Chains A and B, each alone.
Chain A
Amino acid sequence: MNSNLQFDFIVDKETKTVNVKREFNAGLALVWDAWTKPELLDQWWAPKPYQNKTKSMDFREGGTWLYCMISPENEIHWCKNDYLKIENHKSYSGLDAFCDENGVINEAMPRTMWTNIFTEKNDITLVNITAKYNSLADLEMVINMGFKEGFTMGLNQLDVLLSSIK
């Protein structure tokens, strides 16, 4: 990552929202495509070492993106995103969910409301992401779901971080 690019990560425990602001070194149209076109989403959406695979994408208000994340051990987690409001090249919001391959929602898992706002300045695009959770425990559950394996590396770095702030 270019260290000049902004990356803010703010967790508000009171309002149970996570706000992430991240700049990308590309024009708005391209960044927008990367967030809304399945052939591009599949190339970055799943955190390593997971692989992302789209089953169907209907990017319009009321439409759904149905996809899965595949672990190196071939464990498959199905997810979907129901799009609520879309303003082309400006913003979109939606509700995510864990589900099965037919998009039937797993009610035991929490859903998250996402709002992503895109703005461009000097060929750098800022994406402002807000995730709203019903509870902090929900957020914990989302993290635990399927992502554990990928974290060993991150946790090692975290150990260093934690020891530095002690």
Chain B
Amino acid sequence: MRRDIFQAIADPTRRAIIVLIALQAMTPNAIAEHFDTSRQAISKHLRILTECELVKQEQQGREIFYSLEIDKMKEIDQWLEQFKKIWESKFNQLDNLLSTIKKQKK
């Protein structure tokens, strides 16, 4: 099964988890307290987020803390930037076309 950031952010609970741990590293129990779903469900989301390399785990004593991989989040912006570049390229071509037509009409 394909695991990437787009799968990670496709789910609203996972998006909410991302927002939570963006501020500070948290244990699964602390994360689960913010949701009505079961601890198991949160663990599953954390596993997917980990497999997508969007979060990292850190052992502190007996607890595991989850935190966000900021660089991975940048991939999303990078990908959107590609989309923007397509449009920029097309619009610049249209600019040229419009000015050519306007000159011809004069």
Contact = CB atoms under 8 A, between A and B. Distances in A.
A and B: partners?
Answer: yes
Interface of A: 1-2, 7, 9, 11, 13, 18, 20, 22, 24-26, 30-31, 34, 40, 43-48, 135-137, 139-140, 143, 147, 150-151, 154-155, 157-158, 161-162
Q: Which 10 pairs of residues, A with B, have the shortest CB-CB distance?
A: A154-B85, A44-B93, A47-B89, A26-B98, A44-B94, A137-B6, A9-B84, A47-B86, A43-B97, A44-B97
A136 B83 contact: no
Nearest to A153: B85
A31 B74 contact: no
Nearest to B6: A137
B35 interface: no
A43 B98 contact: no
Contacts, number: 89
A24 B94 contact: yes
Interface residues of B, number: 31
A34 B97 contact: yes
B78 interface: yes
B43 interface: no
A154 B92 contact: no
B82 interface: yes
A123 to B, nearest CB: 10
27 contacts: A1-B88, A13-B9, A13-B15, A22-B91, A24-B94, A26-B98, A26-B99, A26-B102, A30-B98, A34-B97, A34-B101, A40-B97, A43-B93, A44-B94, A44-B96, A45-B90, A47-B93, A136-B6, A137-B6, A140-B79, A143-B79, A147-B82, A154-B82, A154-B85, A158-B85, A161-B81, A162-B77
